[in-house]
Copies of this chain bind each other. A is one copy, B any other.
Amino acid sequence: MQANKNFSIAIQICVFMDFKGQERYSSKELADSVDTNPVVIRRQLARLKAADLMQSQNGPNGGYYLTRSTDKITLWDLYAATREGDFFNRPKPNPDCVVGSNLKYLVEDTFYNAEMAMKPELEAVTIRDLSQKLTKILDC
């Protein structure tokens, strides 16, 4: 399990960017913030780029930047960009067992519905919301 982790890192990167307010961020800077390796960050950001949430520029003074305002990026956007694989996860059922081999079909509708039920909750929160909340916390 770990679409969760990628999701969490994506949130952190975006909030970090909004909070800092720079133009661009190198993978090195972001890696320090997340406490991991720059290459790990670049791999993560490749997903966000694929979802048109992030852009990058090569060369000196290059780096990554968000393609739109942080009040237009919701947690659902990041969830969708970083999720992978099946919500329901039964990799290798015994093909001789009628239950195991059909279970996927039995539950896929329900699992889809469950996942979609989260959508409005995650859409209700933007990156801007989180970074403003953070600012408030730190003011105390």
Contact = CB atoms under 8 A, between A and B. Distances in A.
Contact of A90 (B12, B89, B121, B124): B12
B113 A133 contact: no
A100 interface: yes
Interface of A: 1-5, 7-9, 11-12, 15-16, 19, 32-35, 75, 87-94, 97-100, 102-103, 105-107, 110, 113-115, 117-118, 120-122, 124-125, 130, 133-134, 137-138
A137 B105 contact: yes
A12 B103 CA distance: 7
Given A94-B33, A94-B34, A99 B12 contact: yes
Given A34-B100, A110-B121, A110-B125, 8 more contacts: A1-B3, A7-B89, A12-B99, A15-B106, A33-B97, A34-B94, A107-B130, A114-B121
A138 B107 contact: no
Nearest to A103: B12
A134 B12 contact: no
A86 B62 CA distance: 35
Nearest to A98: B138
B100 A35 contact: yes
